[in-house]
Structure 1
């Protein structure tokens, strides 16, 4: 779950207007083609803004098989000179397990995930974090791609399993196996790290979450999608290729993160949705890109 970041983080930004088509040729290497179809989106068993359950149909599309990594984002920065939102502001939100909470850290950004004394050494295959919505959209646009819609993300996460609670079925840890990087124990007091990680894990640390071959579509880091957030959108959304509300103040995030536990956000459920100010960049917040078929 995203924390409330102090007002200093709120400032005017130019929000990208993304379309379902991109003019650049797309390199589909490292992407998975998702065959279009219909599914039941949302849940009536979670938070009120996760429902009502409604039927949605989607055209076929492509989705990155993993979250965008530090190595991939570094190539983008080298090619474009992109300066991220956190770098412009000079701080970002960092969760400290030892402090059991969030702190706004000066000098925290994608190159310094825990602050100025940290680095990306040995983290090239970790998902890039401290990403604002603008940062994520800019990277995807550079690749000739776009951010997925919320409906595309949930459809992919469900992997063809109608009504399942998780990407892999209805049991969180089937046969005692951990399928995603999440928090084991009572949040925020203690992470028992039974899944082997006490923070962000390298991509592909766990098997694909479902038959679509997608990695970390559940857990590890929350992921930006293109939709503006509205708690009532599901009740009146289009049934074909929904794009989310036309405007808003917060953007939707999907997938949950390493901080999600049974007593906290339970973001590892396929219907779970979170929202935050588009300028927010946290050390559990990243993204992956999509492309139209």
Structure 2
């Protein structure tokens, strides 16, 4: 007897959680990048301010600063550029993330995304990835300006790329801090103002523009263990710029490791806080 067996229908394979999360994140990233392109004033203004600061410090203030073991305006220009890279990334990323998230929350966009069948956290990750793309553009323009004022990377292309990679990684980590602020405050104006409360100490109480050895004891300790200081010091080391041995503190002697560790810790911690806040925002 011939028995004809009919194969059961193959169930439709649904994308895995990771695949869905990546897909949703890319969709949100694309939405944020397109939004920036349609409002070019945001990108232009984010470029103008750091370029003005670079020119001011390079040609007006450089002769007023003294570095241990290095002398002259040319030495200070190379010393300051990693600090300006870090400052620009920190201020631009955190401010953009917090204000954009506060705008989405106030306009009801967060509630709309939460009602869609999308991966949790995709809205937040898409926001930070879009800021990473914008940072890469800003840094590219700043590199051109830095080359014009005399900055050079002396250890080759690969180490220079590693230095910029650490700078962008720190910027990505700080963007999660901005996301938490944007989900916490009630208005975009409050988000913009609150950033100065922590970005100014983070940037100026560091080795970005002055050597920590010139600071009083307590401030020197704070500058040595500042996450931004580790990133700036790592960039100087990889670029071959002056200011490598300003102090004997452990973070200053192992800046690449400390910078990567700080960035990963900040990103993990504040992403966790952001996801929790996102789940309860507007509830």
More helix by share: 2
Is the radius of gyration larger for structure 1 or structure 2?
2
More strand by share: 1
Q: Same fold (TM over 0.5)?
A: no
TM-score (norm 1): 0.25
